[in-house]
Amino acid sequence: MATGTGKTLVAFQVCWKLWSARWNRRGERRRPKILYLADRNILIDDPKDKIFAIFGDARWKIENGVANKGRDLYFAIYQALAGDETRTGLYREYSRDFFDLIIVDECHRGSARDDSSWREILEYFAPAHQLGMTATPLREDNRDTYEYFGNPIYQYSLKQGIEDGFLAPYRVHRVVTTYDSTGWRPNKGQLDRYGREIPDAEYHTKDFERVVSLRPRSEAIARHLAEFMKKNGRYDKTIVFCVDQEHADQMRRLLNNLNADLIYKHPDFVCRVTADDGDLGRGHLSNFQETERATPVILTTSQLLSTGVDAPTVKNVALVRVIGSMTEFKQIIGRGTRVDVDHDKLFFNILDYTGSATRLFADPDFDGFPALITEAEIDDNGQVIEGTENVTQPEEPLNDEPLRDVPAGQASLQDDDEGQPRKFYIDGGQVEIAAHLVHELDADGKQLRVVAYADYTAEKVRKAARASLRCSKIAASALTNWR
């Protein structure tokens, strides 16, 4: 089921009905023993404390090496159950047939993979019924999951969710810096921040913040995002996906500086939430998810928020790193698909600074088109350049290399034994951002047509004016008839 269409609610209803009916696989008329399993604390803490709260004291989270056996509904992450070189897996404290039902959330990420070290947990509890939940349809990168669980017993796609009104449609803004458009090459003998000569090569989007860290590019992107929010809503909840924790911290600092007037009133206006931020980051995330809280407004992250974050008011998802996997892409897009009528959240924007979204939306296996795609070039001040030609990006191969979540402030994290920073850091240079394309759905909702951004806006204004005029005529006619 697509993100935002209620996998957790389905899991709750399954558990509640079986628990209330005293079902168990042995037919003993006792309440079932259920395990809710995931790979991140955020994926089990949130449902345990919210939607599953009605279970009261029947709930128990398995952690800190304690294997409580007197409850009915257990929550656990694989890491808490698995063993390592120093200890036997905690899951062995339970008998193989202890659980009647195991629900595996985000099942494509963990123990269902053939090469997963956690696979033994599901195999150990083989007598239990096992229900896997995921937001991603069958792809090459999650084929093991489908081979383990079998064909889906129920499917509900992103396209269906949008058509039925349960999910928010989206607009895609493709923003291209000159470095991303043409690549970046150092001058002969150019040194980086640490005095190291930068290897002579042509670097492209997939290399930025992995091999070379270009501060001017980050500054231009941050300025564009800040200006976009000033025009469309400065308090619109926004998640910025960066390459690693260091990059996320850089973007946080830049966006802080660009929103200094609001930072004075709201110190937590921009926050970083990564694995390195611990309880502080979890606190920022909790406040961000709270629909009645104005701040934090912008969260910068690397990979931590790609799954399991329920934030209904998110209006902007900014991609500042290349997304190489359709599975991960769908998870990230799902951060904005929640509808929140009470807070006027009926659609959301995807700001694509790397070309990931526009490339993956073109994938024939993607279920549904965006409501709008725009493409813009911006200058080194983050301003859209007017009258520029439309830019067609060359196809780049997908980069599925795993990202290392590098803590901020640790430029000295080494790739080798020589104590060298793992990236080359470039602080100078000129970056521009350039053109605006709009791709809109036709009336049948299937074909995309391309119009100029100004024409698109004018057409929408004319439609709104005509609709307003029709309403006025209907109201006048109704008033006349009533008299």
Residue 153: is its pLDDT beyond 80?
yes
pLDDT band (50, 70, 90) for residue 110:
low
At which of 156, 173, 204 does a domain end?
Answer: 156
Specify whether 229 is located in the same domain as 375: yes
In a domain, 477, yes or no: no
Specify whether 207 is located in the same domain as 151: no
- With CA atoms as reference, report the closest residue to 403 among 323, 319, 332, 330: 323
Specify whether 275 is located in the same domain as 182: yes
| CA dist., res. 105 & res. 91, Å (int) | 18
In a domain, 480, yes or no: no
Tell the burial category of 448 from Cβ atoms under 10 Å away from its Cβ (0-12, 13-18, 19+): middle
In a domain, 462, yes or no: no
- With CA atoms as reference, report the closest residue to 73 among 51, 48, 92: 48
pLDDT band (50, 70, 90) for residue 113:
low
Specify whether 174 is located in the same domain as 25: no
430: amino acid identity, one letter: Q
Specify whether 232 is located in the same domain as 310: yes
Q: How much is the pLDDT for 417?
A: 43
Q: Which residue has the tokens 């001017």?
A: 216
Q: How much is the pLDDT for 432?
A: 76
- For residues 194 and 214, the answer to whether their CB atoms sit within 8 Å is no
Residue 219: is its pLDDT beyond 80?
yes
Domain total in the chain:
2
Specify whether 200 is located in the same domain as 131: no
In a domain, 253, yes or no: yes
Residue 229: is its pLDDT beyond 70?
yes
In a domain, 479, yes or no: no
- For residues 297 and 269, the answer to whether their CB atoms sit within 8 Å is yes
Q: Which secondary structure element, helix H or strand E, spans residue 451, and what is its range?
A: strand 448-452
- Whether the ω angle into residue 296 lies within 30 degrees of 0, i.e. cis, is yes
| CA dist., res. 362 & res. 368, Å (int) | 10
Reported as a single tens digit per residue, the pLDDT across 429-476 is 888 776 545 444 444 444 344 455 556 567 778 877 887 888 777 777
Specify whether 237 is located in the same domain as 332: yes
Reported as a single tens digit per residue, the pLDDT across 175-199 is 889 899 889 999 999 999 999 999 9
Distance of CA 108 to the CA centre of its chain: 15
In a domain, 422, yes or no: yes
pLDDT band (50, 70, 90) for residue 121:
very high
Greater model confidence, 380 or 364:
380
| CA dist., res. 123 & res. 267, Å (int) | 48
| CA dist., res. 393 & res. 362, Å (int) | 13
423 to 178, 181, 196, 313, 413: CA distances (angstroms): 21, 21, 10, 35, 9
Residue 369: is its pLDDT beyond 70?
no
At which of 156, 181, 204 does a domain end?
Answer: 156
Residue 395: is its pLDDT beyond 60?
no
Specify whether 214 is located in the same domain as 92: no
Provide the CATH number for the domain around residue 214: 3.40.50.300
Reported as a single tens digit per residue, the pLDDT across 128-149 is 999 999 887 776 666 778 888 8
Reported as a single tens digit per residue, the pLDDT across 403-421 is 333 333 333 334 444 566 7
Provide φ and ψ at 394, rounded to 5°.
-65, 145
Specify whether 177 is located in the same domain as 148: no
Question: Strands 348-352, 170-176: parallel, antiparallel or unpaired by DSSP?
Answer: parallel
At which of 124, 156, 188 does a domain end?
Answer: 156
Q: Which secondary structure element, helix H or strand E, spans residue 144, and what is its range?
A: helix 143-149
324-347 core/surface letters (b: 16 or more CB in 10 A; e: else):
bbbbbbbbbbbbbbbbbeeeebeb
Of 47-51, 84-88, 230-234, 315-319, least confident by mean pLDDT is: 84-88
- With CA atoms as reference, report the closest residue to 361 among 370, 353, 352: 370
| CA dist., res. 228 & res. 230, Å (int) | 5
Specify whether 214 is located in the same domain as 342: yes
3-state secondary structure of 68: coil
In a domain, 476, yes or no: no
Reported as a single tens digit per residue, the pLDDT across 18-27 is 999 999 998 8
Of 245-259, 304-318, 338-352, 393-407, least confident by mean pLDDT is: 393-407
Specify whether 146 is located in the same domain as 200: no
- Rounded to an integer, the average pLDDT of 42-65 is 93
Specify whether 142 is located in the same domain as 173: no
In a domain, 60, yes or no: yes
Of the ranges 90-99, 306-315, 387-396, which is most confident? 90-99
Of 59-63, 364-368, 386-390, least confident by mean pLDDT is: 386-390
> What are the start-end ranges of the H helices in 158-244?
158-163, 178-182, 215-232
| CA dist., res. 240 & res. 305, Å (int) | 10
Domain span at residue 241?
A: 162-446
Q: How much is the pLDDT for 164?
A: 85
The overall average pLDDT reported for the chain is 81
